[in-house]
Amino acid sequence: MNNISLIYFLSGLNETKNHQFALFSLTLLYYCLILLVNIFLVVTIIMDKNLHEPMYVLLCTFCLNGLYGTTGFYPKFLWDLLSPVHVISYSGCLIQALIMYSFALGDLSILAVMAYDRYLAICRPLEYYAIMSKQKLFKLVCFSWITPFCIMAVNIFLTSRLELCSSYIRRPICSNWSVVKLACFPAETLINNIIAYITIIIYVFHGFYIVWSYIDLIKTCVNSKENRAKFMQTCVPHIISLFTFLLTVLFDVMHMRFGSKDLSLALQNFIAIEFLIIPPIMNPLIYGFKLTKIRNRILCFVNIKIK
């Protein structure tokens, strides 16, 4: 089959045609809210020199990554909600898959770097600024963005060489694995499976590193009231973000690989896109309300506007 045009349909949205305009309006409002809170946090950190510290720079990176991922999904999704035919080009599908999953891997990389930053700040405070220099921070930020993009680019390149025998994807977004499953010859997908599992293993180790960091942090904080306060202030938002991200991505991966077709189409759609719905709005809100400097800056801005 010619891979130049690939058609997919949003399975489940056809069941709610009578409510598509309402769904479009709610989705547009939600996307605008994601843009608002993430851009506001990014601008706040950039404009306030007191926030030019590694933890806040990493938070800014986190929000920018959220904007990158959601921008790759919501505009096309909103268009499809009002369109009678849900079509995407083959190249467009691969680009969307690259954006979606480099965003997801990037989130985990940033969370790992944030865990490293908190470990240094609490467990090795005297060495913190010597180790976490501007050059080191720049390298870590580049690592958290470039590495996931390159890993996913390799996966997408391997997918692009496959000959496809179907043009329908039963998901509201294009994912690498959903395209691989359309291959005419399953034997050709062996290398795709190997690289996919290597990718999973790499990011499982990211998860183990984060857990190890927090075990050390907890040991350090047990006997120190000051460290316990610092832990509750700066690490709890990180832990909440981590668990939210892991749960949403785990549901998606498990459903993609082993999911039952007996689930309702609406539920299957939600599982497929929940990592683009929950973390991008939850992360900036959690950090905005929990971190004292960010919260004070927001309250100051609100008071100025009221006056």
Residue 6's pLDDT is 52
Classified as helix, coil or strand, 133 is coil
CA atoms within 13 A on the CB side of 19: 7
Classified as helix, coil or strand, 19 is helix
Q: Give the pLDDT band of residue 4 (cuts 50, 70, 90).
A: very low
Q: Quick check: 4 and 160 in contact, CB under 8 A?
A: no
Mean pLDDT of the chain: 83
List pLDDT tens digits, range 274-294.
888 888 998 888 877 777 777
Alpha carbon distance 43, 60 (integer Å): 9
CA atoms within 13 A on the CB side of 208: 6
Q: Quick check: 111 and 242 in contact, CB under 8 A?
A: yes
As a whole number, mean pLDDT of residues 93-112 equals 92
Given a cut of 60, whether residue 221 has pLDDT beyond it is yes
As a whole number, mean pLDDT of residues 209-226 equals 81
Q: Smallest Cα–Cα separation from 188: which of 158, 156, 167? A: 158
Alpha helices in the chain, H assignment, sequence order: 20-47, 54-71, 74-82, 90-123, 128-131, 134-160, 176-180, 190-221, 225-234, 236-258, 265-273, 279-290, 292-306
Write down the pTM of the prediction: 0.87
Residue 32's pLDDT is 95
Q: What percent of the chain has pLDDT over 70?
A: 88
Alpha carbon distance 142, 282 (integer Å): 24
As a whole number, mean pLDDT of residues 69-86 equals 86
As a whole number, mean pLDDT of residues 92-109 equals 92
List pLDDT tens digits, range 155-200.
999 998 888 887 777 777 888 888 888 888 777 788 988 999 999 8
Classified as helix, coil or strand, 183 is strand
List pLDDT tens digits, range 245-267.
888 887 777 776 666 666 777 77
Residue 106's pLDDT is 94
Report the chain's terminal Cα–Cα distance, integer Å.
64
Cα Rg of the chain (Å, integer) = 21
More confident residue, 166 or 134: 134
Q: Give the pLDDT band of residue 296 (cuts 50, 70, 90).
A: confident
Q: Quick check: 116 and 136 in contact, CB under 8 A?
A: no
